[in-house]
Amino acid sequence: MNLEALVMLALAIIIVAVIFYASAALVSRDWTLTGSLVLRILVVSLVAVFVIPVLRHLAAEVGAGDIGLLLAFVILVIAVRFIVIEELPVTDEWLSAIVASLIAVVLIYILDQVSDWLIGTPLLDVL
């Protein structure tokens, strides 16, 4: 892995972490940031940055279409529910996890397309 790919990977993790923080804060209406929440969001960001591209490529190679993205979304909802939502003051934990994941996935997709348009490489295809 060269230096450029390593920088893009770190940048992708940081940007995805900010997106997950914003989506979790929107769902919980609590914009406070604690140290444990930062670590939890970084873990979920690592899962998102590494799992989504791998499942996308595996599904494309098998010819399964968007099944890989659907599976990645389910894994992301489970990760957000059991890692991030535990820290937040919400009433319905599963619904909050689904909404936070959906907001994050839409924002990540938009950012991925903008990155592909501006610099010629998608943000999450740095592996």
**Residues belonging to the chain:** 127
Residue showing tokens 């444990």: 36
Write down the pLDDT at residue 126: 53
Strands (E), the chain: none
- Domain assignment present for residue 8? The answer is yes
Write down the pLDDT at residue 92: 87
- Domain assignment present for residue 15? The answer is yes
The domain total for the chain is 1
Write down the pLDDT at residue 38: 93
Q: Which of 114, 111, 4 is nearest to 48 (CA)?
A: 111
pTM equals: 0.85
- At 61-114, the pLDDT tens digits run 887 777 877 888 899 999 999 998 888 888 888 999 999 999 998 998 888 888
- Domain assignment present for residue 126? The answer is no
- Domain assignment present for residue 109? The answer is yes
Residue 110 domain boundaries: 3-119
Q: Average pLDDT, whole number, for the chain?
A: 86
- Domain assignment present for residue 27? The answer is yes
- Domain assignment present for residue 124? The answer is no
- Domain assignment present for residue 10? The answer is yes
Distances (CA, A) of 54 to 86, 87, 111: 27, 28, 18
- Domain assignment present for residue 82? The answer is yes
